[in-house]
Amino acid sequence: MSNHSNPFLYNCWYAAAWSHELVETGKLARMYLEIPIVIYRGESGKCFALDDRCCHRGAPLSLGRVEKDCIRCMYHGIKYDTDGKVIEIPGQDFIGPNHKVQSFPIVEKGNLLWIWMGDPKLADPSDIHDYGPLSDAAWKGFEKEAYLHYEANWMLIADNLADFSHLAFVHTNTLGGSEDYAFITHPEVEKLENGFKLVRWNKNDSPAPYHAKINPDLPDKLDRCNSVQMIVPGTFFMSTIMAPVGWDPKGKNLDGVKQYRNCQYMTPETKSTTHFFWNYLHNYRTDDPAVSKSLKESLLEGFMEDKEIIEAQQKMLENKDRFNSRGMKGDEALIHFRKVYTALLNHERKNFNFHERQVGNSII
C-alpha cells in the first residue's frame, strides 16, 4: 500500500464497535481512517456517529453529555443534534450554517455497529456482510465479543489471514498442530469480485492444540478443513471442521465431527494501526461455559502470536529503503485480494475526492 499516501476506501461499511461496547446512553471515542469519531447511544436506543471535535475549539464531544438523542459539548455547552448541527449555544441566539460537525451513517447489525465513512447517499445497510452464526442460537460464542488493537496496517493482517500455511510455524502449539500443514500445495482458491474464498484440507494429521485441549478423548489423527471467505475492505469468515480420518464431507454422517465458526473484522484506525474485532463460535456442548472460555483463551494466545510478528513486520516495512516482496505459490489469494482492493481504490479516486481530504473538521 506504500504507493498511496492515503490508501483508504471510504464508500464501504466498516466494523466500528461491538454493541456491548456502548451501554445505555454510552459514548465511545475511536478513530477510523484517521478521522476521530464519537459514537453515542441516545435515549431512544439508537446509535449516532459524529466527528469528535466540537466545531468551536475542537474539544472532544466524547467527553460530552448525551441529552435524549443529542450530545452537548461540556467545554462551552454547545449542543448538537444527530446530524451534527448545532441547535443550542448558551448565551447566544445566532447559530450559523458552519456551526456543525460531520455526521456519519451508522447501523447496528449482527451485534456490531457498522460505520460508513464515505458519501452518505451511497450508504445502503443491505450491503453489510452480516454473519449469521453471531445471531444463531445454535452457535455459542464468547460471553462478550472480543477486540484487539494492532500497531500495524490492516492489510498485513488481511495478508496473514489469506495464507494459512503460517499456522504451522507461528501457531505450532496453539492453532496449528503440525508443520505438515504448511506443505499442503493445492488449497482451493475461488476469486471473487469483492474478495476470495479458500478451502484448505489437512488430512490424517495431528489435532489442532486448541481443539485437543477441550476434547481430550480425540484420536491421534483427524481430518481438518478450513473454509474461508475474505471480503473487501476487511471482513473475514471461516468455517472449521474437525472430523475422523476418512470422513466424507458430502455425506450426512456427523458422528465424531465438531465444527467452529470464526469472524474477524479489520478496520483501519490509521495507515499503521488497526481495530480488530473477532469472535469464535462452536455448536457442541453449548451449555458448557468452559468450552467458550477455553476457546477464547486459546484463540487470544494464537492471535497474540500473529500480533507479535505482524507488528514486527510493520516496523521493518517502515524503513526508508525500498523493499520488494518476492512472491510464493501460496500467495494466490492475498495477491488477488490486493488487486481487488487496488482496483476499487483507483475507481473511488477517479470519482470522489476523499483521498484529497486533509485531516480536519471540513464537511465531506
Are 254 and 340 contained in the same domain?
A: yes
Does a structural domain hold residue 191? yes
Does a structural domain hold residue 102? yes
Q: Residue 202: its pLDDT value, please?
A: 85
Q: Which one, of 262, 243, 239, 240, lies nearest residue 254 by Cα?
A: 243
Are 228 and 212 contained in the same domain?
A: yes
Are 35 and 96 contained in the same domain?
A: yes
Are 147 and 256 contained in the same domain?
A: yes
DSSP state of 327: P
Does a structural domain hold residue 250? yes
**CATH code for the domain in which residue 85 is found:** 2.102.10.10
Q: Residue 208: its pLDDT value, please?
A: 87
Q: Residue 2: its pLDDT value, please?
A: 40
Q: pTM, whole model, 2 decimals?
A: 0.91
Residue range(s) defining the domain that contains residue 307: 132-346
Q: Which one, of 176, 232, 174, 234, lies nearest residue 200 by Cα?
A: 176
DSSP state of 291: H
Q: Residue 330: its pLDDT value, please?
A: 73
Q: Which helix (H) or strand (E) holds 150?
A: strand 146-150
Does a structural domain hold residue 227? yes
Q: Do 117 and 364 touch, CB atoms closer than 8 A?
A: no
Of the residues 127, 152, 169, the one at which a domain ends: 127
Q: Residue 3: its pLDDT value, please?
A: 43
Q: Residue 269: its pLDDT value, please?
A: 97
Question: DSSP secondary structure string, 208-226?
Answer: PHHHHHH-TT--S-EEEEE
CA atoms of 107 and 114, how far apart (whole Å): 5
DSSP state of 292: H
What sign does the dihedral 175-178-183-187 (CA atoms) show?
Answer: negative
DSSP state of 6: S
- Amino acid letter, 122: L
Are 112 and 159 contained in the same domain?
A: no
pLDDT tens per residue across all 364 residues of the chain: 444 456 899 999 999 999 999 988 899 999 999 999 999 999 999 999 999 999 999 999 999 999 999 999 999 999 999 999 999 999 999 999 999 999 999 999 989 999 999 999 999 999 999 899 998 999 999 999 999 999 999 999 998 888 877 666 666 666 665 566 555 656 788 999 999 999 988 889 888 889 999 999 999 999 989 899 999 999 999 999 999 999 998 888 999 999 999 999 999 999 999 999 999 999 999 999 999 999 999 999 988 888 998 999 899 988 877 777 776 777 888 899 999 999 999 999 999 988 765 545 555 5
Are 88 and 150 contained in the same domain?
A: no
Are 81 and 177 contained in the same domain?
A: no
Q: Residue 360: its pLDDT value, please?
A: 55
Of the residues 72, 107, 127, the one at which a domain ends: 127
What number of other Cβ atoms are within 10 A of residue 247's Cβ?
18
Using DSSP bridges, classify how beta strands 188-192 and 146-150 pair: parallel, antiparallel or unpaired.
unpaired
Dihedral class, residue 168 (left if φ above 0, else alpha if ψ from -120 to 50, else beta): alpha
- Residue 89, C-beta contacts closer than 8 angstroms, at least 6 positions apart: 76, 77, 78, 79, 95, 99
Are 150 and 114 contained in the same domain?
A: no
